Chains A and B, each alone.
Chain A
Amino acid sequence: MSISRLHRPIQILNWLAALMILSSLALIFFYAPMERTMGQVQRIFYFHVGSAWTSAVAFFVALMSGVIYLIGKRREWDAMALASVEIGLVFTTITIASGSIWGRPAWNTWWIWSPRLTSITVLWLVYAAYFMLRGAIEDSERRARYSAVYAIAGFVTVIITFYSIRLLRDIHPALIGSSADAQGEQELTSPMVLTMVYSFLTFSVLYAAWLLNRVRLHALQEEANSLKMRVMTRLQAR
């Protein structure tokens, strides 16, 4: 897809994401009731879980883009995987930071090396290393191929992170199903569920907006590189 064709959908998605974030905040602070056990801090839940969900989606998109790239060798899918991993890492950072702040009043500690927190740290490091891998390979075709394989293999950490609280004893509560020893389990009322679903939608739209912005940035980078090569060729020909 050419850069100019992306402008309109990006503009629409940017505005939609901004509006949905504002309306999501309105639901969180004025519609969703306060949780009885944890008090006000439980309202972090909506963005914490929303960003965690979106990061998993982003890494799944990177996995699928990797697979499609390996089949067809089309560079757009490498750009898509790169964009998705970058955005997934931002959402994972938001998840870890918000979880740590929520954990302080809920568990009386900023951090604990429980299975969930350990596995998400490993996940963050694995996907951060994706950029180191890309930076270390100069040949673009080889870089795209290795990155695709890495993005596919890296998704194992997402699966491990998801199942860590279901398979191992953990202080972290599970949203779907329950985990042994969890502290901070909560009963979700209907307004809470509605607010949570809306937060999921909001973060999904925000992800789509950022993804298109990042893909456009990559296309611009390619154009700049191509023009630089032409200028260099002209200068050398003199």
Chain B
Amino acid sequence: MPVNPFPILLSALWQGTGPAATTPYLILGYIVMWLIGTAYVVTLITRQRNLNQDVQLMRRLLEEDEDQADA
């Protein structure tokens, strides 16, 4: 009967074969690093979106003002 290797692999990964079961710290470490990196990328995207909206609004206001001046 074939043995499914995945539970064994997952178990080995979780417990480790070293002196200590340190995998939870590994997972926590990578989650925290990803969260910090992702948070920074989100702030970059948000700031850029807000600035683009500001630029478009100001351009529209200037165009409207020029149209009024022409009329």
Q: List residues of chain A with CB under 8 Å of any chain B CB.
A: 34-44, 47-48, 51, 87, 90, 93-94, 97-98, 101-102, 104-105, 210, 213-214, 216-217, 220-221, 223-224, 227-228, 230-231, 234
B18 cross-chain contacts in A, Cβ below 8 A:
34-40
A15 → chain B closest CB, angstroms: 14
- Whether A90 contacts B22 in the complex (CB less than 8 A), given A47-B30, A228-B58, comes out as no
- Whether A51 contacts B20 in the complex (CB less than 8 A), given A102-B25, A217-B47, A224-B58, comes out as no
- Whether A231 contacts B61 in the complex (CB less than 8 A), given A37-B19, A41-B25, comes out as yes
- Whether A40 contacts B22 in the complex (CB less than 8 A), given A34-B17, A101-B29, comes out as yes
Count of A-B residue pairs with CB < 8 Å = 100
The answer on a CB contact under 8 Å between B26 and A98 is: no
B51 cross-chain contacts in A, Cβ below 8 A:
217, 220-221, 224
The answer on a CB contact under 8 Å between B33 and A47 is: yes
B30 cross-chain contacts in A, Cβ below 8 A:
44, 47
Main secondary structure of the interface of A (DSSP, over half): helix
B8 → chain A closest CB, angstroms: 15
Q: How far is the CA of A98 from the CA of B30 in the complex (A)?
A: 8
A97 cross-chain contacts in B, Cβ below 8 A:
29, 32-33, 36
B31 → chain A closest CB, angstroms: 9
- Whether A220 contacts B62 in the complex (CB less than 8 A), given A101-B32, A105-B20, comes out as no
Q: List 12 A-B contacts (CB under 8 A).
A: A34-B17, A37-B19, A39-B18, A40-B18, A41-B26, A44-B30, A47-B33, A93-B36, A101-B28, A216-B48, A227-B54, A228-B58
With beta carbons under 8 angstroms apart, the residue of A37, A40, A90 that contacts B13 is A40
Q: How far is the CA of A93 from the CA of B32 in the complex (A)?
A: 10
